Amino acid sequence: MAYETIVYERKEGIGIIILNRPDRMNAINMQLVRELDDVMDQIEKDEEVRVVILAGHERFFCAGADIKEEITPYYLAKLRNVFRKIESADKPFIAAISGVAFGGGCELSLVCDLRIASETARFGVPEIKIGIIPAGGGTQRLPRLVGVAKAKELLFSGDPIDASTALRIGLVNKVVPTDTLIDEAKIVAKMILDRPPVAIRMAKLAVNVGMKVDLESGLDYEAQCASALLKTEDFQEGVRAFAEKRNPVWKGR
């Protein structure tokens, strides 16, 4: 499939998706949803890609839903589906956010595992100002990241916050200079590549499942994941490498 609203490239185990609707500040339309859905299917099947960076333009990550197009229940259902694909993918996703990340753009960053922001990044869920609420998971994922009270403040006001505030409340992992944003994201991606892939996959899964269940159920699931990892070649290699004081060579099994 030839893409028009995104650019996708892969190199040395890292996939990079760049939102590419500069004339609309990367606003999300139906075509962008379809193309994200298609590239997600590619990524999931590609065993060479082990971590993905999702980025936008220097001045705008994503301005949210494209209000020039009709927002229908079908559109919202497809949007939520592709967001779930990113969130539940067995490969970590790193959002590299510069400039505006409003509405659906903010929600898109929330489904990624890590968020690195440039100093110019601004986040907001302004839907309340036009008489609606976020419909891409913002009311559910935001409080899980920043706490209930702060999430309600952002949702009730609809006002944006800057990168330093986003860092302080735990919305982003790191704030970096704008001109180093992609390089910083690649550094984090390469760190993940240096870790055992099966354990990375299990760690993401354990957290995702644990956030949906009570603590005891989450602990039980964590124990199941850890028990499964004890049987992997990577765990045995990790133990040997530690004893021999050398870098491990992961096999992904």
22 — pLDDT class (breaks 50, 70, 90)? very high
Q: Give the DSSP H/E element, type plus range, for residue 210.
A: helix 197-210
The reply to whether 201 and 169 lie within a common domain is no
The reply to whether 63 and 79 lie within a common domain is yes
Give how far the C-alpha of residue 171 lies from the chain's centroid of Cα atoms, to the nearest Å: 12
Q: How many domains does the chain have?
A: 2
What does the pLDDT look like over 43-75, one tens digit per residue? 999 999 999 999 999 999 999 999 888 888 898
DSSP per residue, 207-228: HHHHTTS-HHHHHHHHHHHHHH
Give dist(CA 126, CA 104) in Å, integer: 10
Residue tagged active-site, from 4, 107, 153, 222 = 107
Q: Give the Cα-Cα-Cα angle 35, 80, 26 (nearest 5 degrees).
A: 50
Beta-strand relationship, 122-124 and 161-162: antiparallel
N- to C-terminal Cα separation, the chain: 31
The reply to whether 133 and 220 lie within a common domain is no
The reply to whether 182 and 216 lie within a common domain is no
| Annotated catalytic residue 107 | yes
| Annotated catalytic residue 222 | no
The reply to whether 123 and 239 lie within a common domain is no
Residue tagged active-site, from 127, 153, 222, 244 = 127
Inform me whether the pLDDT recorded for 252 exceeds 90. no
What per-residue confidence (pLDDT) applies to 150? 97
Identity of the residue numbered 241: A
CATH code assigned at 216: 1.10.12.10
What is the SS3 assignment for 244?
coil
What per-residue confidence (pLDDT) applies to 72? 87
What per-residue confidence (pLDDT) applies to 106? 97
